Amino acid sequence: MKYQKFEIENEYIRFMEQIKEKSEKDFRKKVLLPQLKNCIKHKNILRIDIGNYPIANRTLDEVFANLMRENKIDYNTLLTHLDFKGNECVIQDILDMLAKTKQELEFVEMEKPTIKERLFKLLPTILQYLIRDIISFLKAKKEGRQLIVPLEIADYRMEQCKKCKNLSSTVLGVRCKICGCFLKFKTQLSFEHCTDLENMQWDEWFNK
- DSSP 8-state secondary structure symbol assigned to residue 182: B
> What b-and-e string marks burial along 80-102, b requiring 16 or more CB atoms within 10 Å of the CB?
ebbbbebeeebbebbeebbeebb
E-assigned strands of the chain? 3-7, 45-49, 82-85, 167-170, 173-176
User: Which secondary-structure segment (H or E) carries 88?
Assistant: helix 88-111
Q: How far apart are CA 84 and CA 60, in angstroms?
A: 11
Listed as own residue / partner, the contacts of 168-175 with beta carbons closer than 8 Å and 24 or more positions apart are: none
Q: Residues 105-118: pLDDT tens digits?
A: 666 566 667 777 77
The domain spans of the chain are 3-111, 122-186
Q: Residues 54-99: pLDDT tens digits?
A: 777 777 767 777 777 665 677 777 777 888 776 666 667 777 777 7
Percentage of the chain modeled with pLDDT above 70: 79
Q: Residues 129-146: pLDDT tens digits?
A: 778 888 888 888 888 888
pTM of model > 0.85:
no
Cβ atoms 207, 149 nearer than 8 A? yes
Q: How far apart are CA 192 and CA 198, in angstroms?
A: 17
